[in-house]
Chain A
Amino acid sequence: MNESHKNVEVEKSELPVREPLFRRYQIKIKAGVRAGAVPTARPPLGF
């Protein structure tokens, strides 16, 4: 049982890693800024 489990793990690690297309367009932005929200330097509230 343990042996066969081990074999499965080995096979998994040998799978080629494929990346989805969006990773080509992905960038990193500053911590704490939500994607889709407004930028860190944004107009103030109250107007």
Chain B
Amino acid sequence: MSRVLLCVRGGASELPAVAGALRERGAEPVVFDPSAFPSGAALTLAYDRGGFHGRWADRFVELGEVSAIWQGVVVGTALPAMQPGVRETCVSASELAVVGLLDSLQVFQLDPFWTKMRADNKPHQLRIAQRAGLVVPETIVSNDPAAVRAFAWRCGPVIAKMLVQPASTGPADDDAPVVFTTAMTAADLEQLDGLDLCPMIFQERIENQRDVRVTVVGKRLFSVALDAVARGGDDVDWRRQSYALDRVPAWTRYELPTVVAGGVVRLVDHFGLNYAAVDLIVRPDGGHVFLELNASGSFGFER
């Protein structure tokens, strides 16, 4: 029986479905929860003249033992609070150890960590999306307040979003910091102190009729849409209200125009991904605008 290593967060809602699907196909799922590492699980990688083996908790992992890997490496969520900089070092070292294990097994990965890291660079995505024939919002990535004000003066309403989400500073049972996409007010544009310390992404605000999430698996696309009016209002980020209200968004199946689908596939192919979640907006005139690609985006949106 072939074994497939599922190296994903134990609480991932997709995990039971993936494990079940593997069993149905006669494969044995082997689950390693990287979020438990390092404080809740022991990992040892051993390299010698004979090759390589790893030990995760009480289980040996040898070359040839697993035939494929599904990975979403998020480590260190159980680490205690530490001095600034110390926790980040523990997380970085732990991440490299787990990725070292996965890469050393030299089997198919959905998808390799470094492939996903490269693909998750949002500025790079915009350039590749343009080349793939997708429409992108007018954008600047900057730590210069003057450049942001000039951009807003030229473009009109703008939104701000992050290049990367804030790092967690404490254990997983603490609330997690997050920055949603935010519509900037005139007051926000006046108050840009601290931008010089950390660049952000600023984009023209796209008039939104629908949010579209495209889940890409190989060459297959599964698209769903969320009616912007029905989800309740003007917020530029559907996640804010969904988190705040703990409310199920009313995603419905969506037919992506062929020309847009082609652009999405070219984008994902460029990065060498076998899986991706792509976010777009549909304008009232029916035009589709690419927002971003998430190489580790969740799936299971469709009802």
Spell out A's residues near B (CB within 8 Å): 18-47
CA distance A13 to B9 in the complex (A): 38
The count of chain B contact residues (Cβ–Cβ below 8 Å) is: 46
Contacts of B194 in A (CB 8 A): 18-24
Partner among A31, A39, A42 whose Cβ is within 8 Å of the Cβ of B176: A31
Given contacts A28-B177, A41-B246, 15 further A-B contacts (CB under 8 A): A19-B197, A20-B194, A26-B179, A27-B178, A28-B178, A30-B175, A33-B243, A35-B179, A38-B239, A39-B249, A40-B246, A41-B242, A44-B300, A45-B17, A46-B17
A–B pairs, 30, beta carbons within 8 Å: A18-B197, A20-B195, A21-B193, A21-B194, A21-B195, A22-B162, A22-B166, A22-B194, A23-B194, A25-B180, A27-B177, A27-B179, A28-B176, A30-B175, A30-B243, A32-B176, A35-B176, A36-B165, A38-B301, A39-B239, A39-B246, A39-B247, A39-B248, A39-B249, A41-B242, A41-B246, A41-B248, A42-B300, A45-B17, A45-B299
**B25 at the A interface (CB under 8 A):** no
How far, in Å, is A44 (CB) from chain B's closest CB?
Answer: 7
Please name the residue on chain A nearest to B198 by beta carbon: A20
CB-CB < 8 A to A47: which residues of B? 302-303
- Contacts A18-B197, A25-B182 given: A34-B243 contact, CB under 8 Å? no
* Chain B residue contacts of A31, Cβ below 8 A: 172-176
> Could you tell me the distance between the alpha carbons of A47 and B253 in the complex, rounded to whole angstroms?
10
Bound Cα distance from A26 to B164, whole angstroms? 12
Q: Which chain A positions have C-beta within 8 A of B243?
A: 29-30, 33, 39-40
- Would A42 and B301 count as touching, CB distance under 8 A? yes
Which residues of B come within 8 Å of A, CB atoms? 9, 11, 13-14, 16-17, 74, 160, 162, 165-166, 172-180, 182, 188, 191-195, 197-198, 200, 239, 242-243, 246-249, 251, 294, 297-303
Q: What is the chain A residue whose CB lies nearest that of B241?
A: A39
Closest 4 pairs between A and B when the two form their complex, measured CB to CB = A28-B175, A20-B198, A35-B178, A39-B242
In the complex, what distance in Å separates the CA atom of A37 from the CA atom of B180?
11
A-side contacts of B174, CB under 8 Å: 31
CB distance from B252 to the nearest CB of A (A): 10
B191 neighbours in A (Cβ, 8 Å): 24
Known: A22-B200, A47-B303. A38 touches B177 (CB 8 A): no
Which A-chain residue is minimally distant from B299 (CB atoms)?
A45
Q: Would you call A29 and B178 a contact (CB within 8 A)?
A: yes
Residue of A nearest to B77 (CB): A32
- Let me know if B175 and A44 touch, CB within 8 A: no
The answer to whether A36 touches B294 (Cβ under 8 A) is: yes
